[in-house]
Structure 1
């Protein structure tokens, strides 16, 4: 972007823009980069960025196409002309969905944006435990040159709960490793990229757990998945199994997980999400040598705004050309 272009973009009145970007960024990356990415993809439309609460309240009164990380009820109440809200997160549970539905607002999400980076995170976590790098790290800190036994991923069974964009990305990255895969989804009749596909029926699910070496949670948090990995699940898993959770913390019963680790019901766990979150400083999960904890970091990628802008720009063009009849990518409401 040239200096002249930057000055021109900053002079755009957010209230008169074709696409309004709200002020909250994500992953520590300035939201200006998101606005810039949209402008690069929408040279024939104006993209306005509201940088203060006051600008947001004023601009959203006339905006028809708005994108941002969140939209609270007060801001929605001021959105008299809103037709589309393009959520910049894959999850939309934090939005006032009832209010948006009542107003007839189309809502889209950022599904697919995280596939490559979270797929790599999961693969790294699996390899971490397969080759037992956590053991090597401890011995390196002690300057101890002593061999240890490791594992081999080939021939293992990986069960992936959730076959959305992230679950499919995990499958793609596991494909060269010669593993057997089981997918768990709400509609198993639709099939999927895994060798076997099952539903959430308890008997079928526990039968899959009994075969599992690596259990990957990549599902949304719903009534079905809340507490899915409970004491019975941990006792059904083989003692050599490893849990990888990049879904939501409450999918796992935390007390049952702690008991499973203390009782050697599982070999280890890689947790990008926890319940509670953030994990309190005094929580016992910090102290297990066979637990890898990352601070809800699997979603971070320097490509986030670029991938997000690809989706949102496509929808902005469709909306501009077709209006409320437009078929929008990643539409979750109505």
Structure 2
């Protein structure tokens, strides 16, 4: 892709990573202003710039700068892209979404305009894999009981569980699901993977689809049910009343996918009725979870505020993907891109 014309940051300005507006545009990569996980978006722009010393990486730091800079930008990256900003992006060829999920984007409009879209798949594998493993071990050794007794200064033994020989079912075998499998390998567990196309196989001991008797049978012998799938028509409400009735009553639900994959009312009923041992919820429906919601009141429920995705390495891993794609596009505008979800 030929360099675009316009104002860009000089090396001396790169520490601040803010951009003044100008009449032209010589941007190769435009970074939008929204950051994530409480980390300054300047770090993201710096990480891309470090990987692309031969290209011009511009950070639009205000709404006005975004609208002006995107008019002639061909390669844009950011957390989101609303339709108003897309309307101004008359030259856009690639939008590199900085999230793994793209359901919040105007995908139909992007596809109509022949804009290639990529996502951040793979960025979250290590940190969410560790989050899931931590949740499993918390319920296995019942650390939450020990913490409660410590607060009360009670020296009293309590029963715990053992992870070895347990069955862990992982719904979704993308980068996160695979990372969970890798981290479970030393623990001597049996793993069942759930994916749309079981015939493709996967890293688990067994593979089943989302529907039918095989899925129900997997639930019936599951000790830890890990949800790591995207939210689709198939997965919305996947874990409903019937699923909670079917699942082993000693099972623990761990949701790092999206809140609506689980029917919240059914989950509350299952917890009240002891149909499951507990739940670790990094996502909920609704989200944020209202202060008066009953899920806050269960001692066997762990709630984290959609925090499993946080990692200090987020921008570094994301920049690896985005910089490589920007490099490919510069060499060949028709090149296949990593993590491409719309061609």
TM-score (norm: length of structure 2): 0.94
One of 324, 328, 341 as aligned partner of 1:332: 341
Deviations 1:12-47 (A, max 9, x none): 768421100000000000000000000100000010
Q: Do the aligned partners of 2:18 and 2:61 also contact (CA within 8 Å) in 1?
A: no
Segments ≥4 residues shifted beyond 6 Å: none
Match for residue 317 of structure 1?
327
**Is 1:188 matched with 2:192?**
no
Once residues 31 and 10 of structure 1 are traced to their aligned partners in structure 2, the CA distance between those partners, rounded to angstroms, is 10
Match for residue 74 of structure 1?
84
**Is 1:146 matched with 2:156?**
yes
Q: Do the aligned partners of 1:16 and 1:59 also contact (CA within 8 Å) in 2?
A: no
Per the alignment, do residues 5 and 60 of structure 1 end up closer, same or farther by CA in structure 2, a change over 3 Å counting? closer
Once residues 318 and 9 of structure 1 are traced to their aligned partners in structure 2, the CA distance between those partners, rounded to angstroms, is 24
Q: Do the aligned partners of 1:213 and 1:241 also contact (CA within 8 Å) in 2?
A: yes
One of 105, 121, 125 as aligned partner of 1:111: 121
Could you tell me which runs of 5 or more consecutive residues in structure 2 were left unpaired when the two chains were aligned: 1-9
Match for residue 187 of structure 2?
177
Could you tell me which runs of 5 or more consecutive residues in structure 1 were left unpaired when the two chains were aligned: none
Shift of 1:275: 0.6
Once residues 73 and 12 of structure 2 are traced to their aligned partners in structure 1, the CA distance between those partners, rounded to angstroms, is 26
Q: How does 1:161-176 map to 2 (within 5 A)?
A: 161-176=171-186
**Is 1:262 matched with 2:272?**
yes
One of 198, 204, 226 as aligned partner of 2:236: 226
**For 2:268, what is the secondary structure of its paired residue?**
helix
Once residues 299 and 271 of structure 1 are traced to their aligned partners in structure 2, the CA distance between those partners, rounded to angstroms, is 13
One of 196, 210, 220 as aligned partner of 1:210: 220
Shift of 1:148: 0.3
Shift of 1:201: 2.0
Deviations 1:211-241 (A, max 9, x none): 1000000001111111110111111111110
Match for residue 4 of structure 1?
12
**For 1:215, what is the secondary structure of its paired residue?**
strand
**For 2:332, what is the secondary structure of its paired residue?**
helix
One of 27, 30, 33 as aligned partner of 1:20: 30
**Is 1:92 matched with 2:92?**
no
Deviations 1:285-326 (A, max 9, x none): 101010000000000000000000000000000000111x11
Match for residue 134 of structure 1?
144
Shift of 1:204: 1.1
Shift of 1:203: 1.2
Shift of 1:5: 5.8
Aligned-residue Cα RMSD (Å) equals 1.4
Match for residue 211 of structure 2?
201
Q: Do the aligned partners of 2:17 and 2:42 also contact (CA within 8 Å) in 1?
A: no
Residue correspondences, number: 332
Once residues 257 and 332 of structure 1 are traced to their aligned partners in structure 2, the CA distance between those partners, rounded to angstroms, is 32
Per the alignment, do residues 238 and 8 of structure 1 end up closer, same or farther by CA in structure 2, a change over 3 Å counting? closer
Q: Do the aligned partners of 1:12 and 1:48 also contact (CA within 8 Å) in 2?
A: no
**For 1:16, what is the secondary structure of its paired residue?**
coil
Once residues 3 and 202 of structure 1 are traced to their aligned partners in structure 2, the CA distance between those partners, rounded to angstroms, is 58
One of 264, 271, 274 as aligned partner of 2:281: 271
Shift of 1:7: 6.2
